[in-house]
Chains A and B, each alone.
Chain A
Amino acid sequence: MTEKERKWKCGKCSQVLTLQKVVFDYLGHTFSHEVPACPKCGQVFISKELAEGRIAELEEELEDK
């Protein structure tokens, strides 16, 4: 988690986000990854860096040619 991310709070619960392992499905595959999430409601925060970095790479690899 970056310094900036440590300061994020959940908009609904006002809880400071903590790093949690989350599971997501994409094009028939299941992955886990640690992302900041609300300890109370579980809402996750996907940073721009992650979306445009590793997740974009994953999309490129899994989109059928």
Chain B
Amino acid sequence: MREIIRKTYSVCPVCLKRIPAVHAAEGKTVYLEKTCPEHGNFSAVIWRGLRDLEAWRGNLPEIAEGENENCPHACGLCPEHRQGTCCVLLEVTKRCNLNCAFCFAEGGSGEDIPFAALQRQLHDLAEPGKTLVQLSGGEPTVRDDLPRIVAAAKEAGCRYVQLNTNGIRLAADKEYVRALAKAGLSFVFMQFDGTRDPIYRTLRGRGLFDIKKQAIENCAQHNLGVTLVPTIVPGVNTGDIGNIIRFAVAHSPAVRGVHFQPVSYFGRFPSLPSDSRRFTLDELLLAIEDQAGELVPGDSLHPSRCDHPLCGFHGDYLVMQDQTLHPLHKGQSNCCEPVTAEQNRNFVARRWQRPDAEDAKEPAVGDDIETLEGFLRRICSHSFTVTAMAFQDAGNLDLERLRTCSLHVYSDGRFVPFCAYYLTKQA
């Protein structure tokens, strides 16, 4: 027997109509349940009860009667959206040099958006001195003119330019990496699903581990920070989470952190999954503690306060010379005080971007982080983050979460919350 513990809204996975939904608890496990008058009942697990859900979520209000009634179909952004833009994603191509089993963007073929059109969009989306733009795709590095696009983003006033990539071209083409760095690229988010080739063969169709290592090395030569982005899929790489963190720490300061993304089912995916094929945020928290607790203690990871707490978490550390992590924020975070998108943007960008080459050198005086100067030097050169973003699909979309989203896709002059933009009907 399930007990209703919270009311919200979602969409029907078949027709995508907005419908009421509830959080229903069975023991400690919580499901999102909903009924479409036309297509029937749907349920998806959202929390396994491995952490206290109420404590993690904090004191956030439910969607009240009459609120967000046009969500998600009027997304872009409406006055009722509750968070500003932390990061804006711009697709620069639909093409890709992989054919992955899972892809939010459902990349494929087709003509690229002309450079002049992208340049106009960058001018339209940029808030000079503030914007963090993610160049995404498809696979952005299939474009030879990507360095020119990076330069255009900087000229438009974007403070930070992030590249979302699988790393294949970065590994193969050092001159291309040099050109991206010279054009003003701030940092790289690189797909990195594990430390063993069978994982890549399952998810990406080919072994890629050596390529990932080479891409990191090439970025390091040009002082480009790399954050590793694993898509976590049950039965494929959930057992490699600790190894990914250890690999990332061992490659600091070139690698700036790990950004976990539990698999979500939009874009290109086989079919909406059974609950056993979902990996909830609390499962990820437990897996990190179980597999890499010596590096990342559980109490060093805190719920997102920029986005909804059920959308992600973050932990901030210094990498020490013995390759341990020194947590910067320990104990309970104040989850009830939201931060603005701008605060969040500046915070994460400072971590993900490497300092100028001179400042990035290993401090001469060991780990003297007990002095103010030593601590500030180390934080400048050896910051490290463990973060997660749990994207939502048509099966588990919760509009209470969506209305606080700060990652927005720029399209047709609108800023659309990520999970609304990529929402895909069940076949």
Contacts and interface: CB of A to CB of B under 8 A. Distances in A.
Interface of A: 27-33, 54-55, 57-58, 61-62, 64-65
B333 A64 contact: yes
Contacts of A55: 372
Nearest to B305: A65
A65 B306 contact: yes
Interface of B: 302, 305-306, 314, 316, 328-331, 333-334, 339, 343-344, 347-348, 350, 370-373, 375-376, 379
A63 to B, nearest CB: 9
Contact of A54 (B329, B339, B373): B373
Contacts of B379: 61
Contacts of B347: 65
Given A28-B330, A28-B331, A61 B376 contact: yes
B373 A65 contact: no
Contact of B343 (A28, A30, A65): A65
A64 B376 contact: no
Nearest to A23: B370
Nearest to A30: B370
B329 A64 contact: yes
B344 to A, nearest CB: 6
Contact of A65 (B314, B330, B375, B376): B314
Contacts of B328: 29, 61-62
Contacts of A29: 328, 375
Nearest to A28: B330
Contacts of B344: 65
Contacts of A32: 370-372
A31 B370 contact: yes
A47 to B, nearest CB: 13
Contacts of A27: 329
14 contacts: A31-B370, A31-B371, A31-B372, A32-B372, A33-B371, A54-B376, A58-B372, A58-B375, A61-B328, A61-B376, A62-B328, A65-B305, A65-B343, A65-B348
B343 A58 contact: no
Nearest to B330: A28
Contacts of B329: 27-28, 62, 64
A32 B302 CA distance: 28
Contact of A33 (B333, B334, B373): B373
A28 B375 CA distance: 14
Nearest to A65: B347
Contacts of B334: 64
B339 A65 contact: yes
B376 to A, nearest CB: 6
A28 B330 CA distance: 8
B333 to A, nearest CB: 5
B187 to A, nearest CB: 17
A7 B372 CA distance: 24
A57 B372 CA distance: 10
**Most B CB within 10 A of own CB, among A54, A57, A62, A65:** A65
Contacts of B330: 28
A54 B372 contact: yes
A21 B375 CA distance: 15
Given A28-B330, A61-B350, A62-B328, 11 more contacts: A29-B375, A31-B370, A31-B372, A32-B370, A32-B372, A33-B373, A54-B372, A54-B376, A57-B376, A58-B372, A65-B305
Nearest to B304: A65
